Structure 1
Amino acid sequence: MTVRQLSEVSVGEVIGPVTVPVSRGTLVAYANASGDQNPIHQDEAFARSVGLPDVIAHGMWTMGASGTVVSDWAGDAGRVVEFGTRFTKPVVVPAEGSSIEVSGVVKAVDVESGRVTVDLTTTCGGEKVLGRCVAVVVLP
C-alpha cells in the first residue's frame, strides 16, 4: 500500500464508509490473542444471564477495527500516532454475525507538523458504538 501524502489531504475529506464484518469466530480469535476470555464475548447463555441481548464484541476489537480503517487510509499503521475514543454501546454479535461501519472526516491538517486529525464514526445497526473517536495521523 502506498503511504498517503500530506499534499493529497484536505479538511473535509471523507473516509469510507467501510464495513467490517465480525463473527463469533472473530471474537474467539481476538480473545485468544488478547487474553480477554470474558464469557460475555463467547458464551451466549452467560451473556444473556448478565442482561446482555447476546454475545458482544470486545470493545478493544471495535476500537482496533476502526483504527485499521484509518491506517489503511493513511497507507501505513505506523502513521497513526494518536487514537482515542469512548465506548458508547456494545457491538452485539448474534450467531449469524454482524458488522460495524466506520467512516471518517478530516477535521484538521497541520502542514508544518504533517499531522492530520480525523474524526471517526463507528456504528453497528445504525447506532453509534464509539463516541469522541479521533485519530491523528502524521503524513510525509
Structure 2
Amino acid sequence: MTQAQTLAKGDILAEDTHLITRESLVRYAGAAGDFNSIHYSDQAAKDAGLPGVLAHGMLTGALALQTVIDWLGGDSTRIRSYETRFTRPVVVDASAGAKVVVTAKVGKVEDDSIRVDLVVKCDDTTVLGKTQATVAR
C-alpha cells in the first residue's frame, strides 16, 4: 500500500476462504505441539460433549491474520498488534473439512496506522469476535 492510496472506514481490503481439513489439524498440532485429541478424534470430541472434531482456535486466528499479511504483500513486519476472541468452534468434517471465510475491512485510519477489522465465519456463523489487526502505513 502506498501513501497515495486513500482508505476509508468500511472499505473491504481482502476476502479469503481457507479450507481446514483433518490433515491441516494434524500438521498444525505437530507445529504447535497441541495434541489434544478433540482436534483429531471423533470419539474424543463426542466424549467431551462437542459437536465434532474442532479446529485449534489459534489455527483459526492465524488464518484470519494471514488474510491481512497477504493484503500487505507478505510484509508481516508492518503488523503492530493483533487481537481476537474465540466465540464459536470450527467443526472440521472428516471428508468435507471446514471453510473459514475472512473479510478484512478498514476499521480506522490514522496518520501512521490502519486498524483492520476482520469478520471470520464458518458456515455463515461468526467464529471469532472482535478480531482486529493494527498495521503500519
The answer, yes or no, to whether TM exceeds 0.5 is: yes
State the distance in 2 between where 1:7 and 1:69 align: 22
Q: Which residue of 1 aligns with 2:7?
A: 10
Q: Which residue of 1 aligns with 2:79?
A: 80
Residue 91 (structure 1) aligned with residue 97 (structure 2): no
State the distance in 1 between where 2:11 and 2:119 align: 14
Q: Which runs of 5+ in 1 are unaligned?
A: none
Aligned with 1:51 (options 37, 49, 72): 49
**Identical amino acids, percent of aligned pairs:** 38
Q: How far 1:15 sits from its partner (Å)?
A: 2.5
State the distance in 2 between where 1:78 and 1:42 align: 33
For normalisation by structure 2, the TM-score amounts to 0.93
Q: Which residue of 2 aligns with 1:102?
A: 102
Q: How far 1:104 sits from its partner (Å)?
A: 1.6
How many corresponding residue pairs?
Answer: 134
- What does 1:58-69 correspond to in 2, within 5 Å? 58-69=56-67
Task: Indicate if the aligned counterparts of 2:100 and 2:121 stay in contact, CA closer than 8 A.
Answer: yes
Q: How far 1:107 sits from its partner (Å)?
A: 1.6
State the distance in 1 between where 2:5 and 2:20 align: 32
Task: Indicate if the aligned counterparts of 2:15 and 2:67 stay in contact, CA closer than 8 A.
Answer: no
For normalisation by structure 1, the TM-score amounts to 0.91
